[in-house]
A and B are shown apart, each in its own frame.
Chain A
């Protein structure tokens, strides 16, 4: 798995690169630990605080944190005890993160958070069970385009080959995830979350 982290980013196919990155944070509990850190209000948490907020055994959380630090997805403070951890996608110096634009980063993080929250979000869970993570990834891409006013519900449904109601359901679930990302500690300028009613959508 680690080999995938150090592989060269494929600029011509960012979606494939992002998908391979998303696969790195399987299994589910690792993704949940990662996204709990990512969306932490103060930007960092202790293992116990993570344990208090998600139903994952403490020993597993320690294993996952070690893995995330090794992969450059999280950083551990070296001062004070207990150690505090911070999700640092910016630290992915060997990963495609550095070469991604804000939109690709947003897309990637939304996908990671959606997969991680599968157990808590019935709409996302049903969608993944029926159509798989790849279709969810496509739905996120269309959602970002649609929020910029560059496509519509019916067009999105046709592109995904899904009923309109199901398409709108996953759109609204993804917007909820983007809204959470918008309030995370990640620097706003590193992402492109089009949740602005005044956005003209013009490029």
Chain B
């Protein structure tokens, strides 16, 4: 396990689809800014840029149904505003990236009672591989992974925690769940 002095500006934030479904979903029952506006403001204040996978981008923009249109359009807006970015393709010439992807795929598949397909498992595993790539290419000193899947979060803790120690923080962020999210402002918003 390694302990690192974290430079606030060199922290990566990798988030899966569920986080943005929540931001674009039902709004708080109170007057004031939408969750989208609040997150945009938080990201600007804290200098946070959320990285999403190509898969998550596709999922968030694929549904042209009117009920979900807001989500599709807001993720495009967030990308234009600069607080969300789509991850670069995985570079399999970086050993740990392919190792983490393959191992995470195995572990998530093992947990799944519904015999997850290889495609689903790879999409879940890619979140962990993106975090690995950000650290291995020294784009970030530390990486925070946000997911609404317990299977994904526990696999990330087991696999990446062992490899990178506290350079990896995993936030299992299910709304209504008092689960100690590390980023104070993010935690407050999540519980509203």
**A residues bordering B, Cβ < 8 Å?**
122-123, 126, 142, 145-156, 158-159, 163-166, 168-169, 171-173, 175-176, 178-179, 195, 197, 199-201
Contacts and interface: CB of A to CB of B under 8 A. Distances in A.
B178 to A, nearest CB: 8
Interface string B106-147: 001001111011001001100000000000000000000000
Contact of A165 (B60, B114, B154, B175): B60
Q: Give the interface size class of chain B.
A: 35 or more
Contact of A153 (B18, B63, B68, B113): B18
Contacts of B68: 163, 165-166, 169
A92 to B, nearest CB: 28
B177 interface: yes
Given A151-B116, A155-B112, A163-B59, A197 B177 contact: yes
Interface of B: 16-18, 21-22, 25-26, 59-60, 62-63, 67-68, 71, 108, 111-114, 116-117, 120, 123-124, 148-154, 172, 174-180
A165 B21 contact: yes
A164 B117 contact: no
A172 B22 contact: yes
Nearest to A145: B113
Contacts of B152: 152
A155 B114 contact: yes
A165 B17 contact: yes
User: Secondary structure of the A side of the interface?
Assistant: helix
A175 B123 CA distance: 23
A151 B113 contact: yes
Sorted nearest first, the 7 A-B pairs with minimum C-beta distance are: A197-B179, A149-B150, A179-B176, A154-B120, A168-B21, A164-B59, A155-B116
Given A151-B151, A155-B114, A158-B117, 20 more contacts: A148-B150, A149-B150, A152-B108, A152-B152, A153-B124, A154-B116, A154-B120, A154-B124, A155-B112, A159-B114, A163-B62, A164-B17, A165-B60, A165-B63, A166-B63, A169-B68, A178-B176, A195-B174, A197-B180, A200-B154
A201 B178 CA distance: 17
A151 B114 contact: yes
A17 to B, nearest CB: 21
B17 A151 contact: no
B149 A146 contact: yes
Nearest to B115: A155
Contacts of B149: 146, 149, 152-153
Nearest to A173: B26
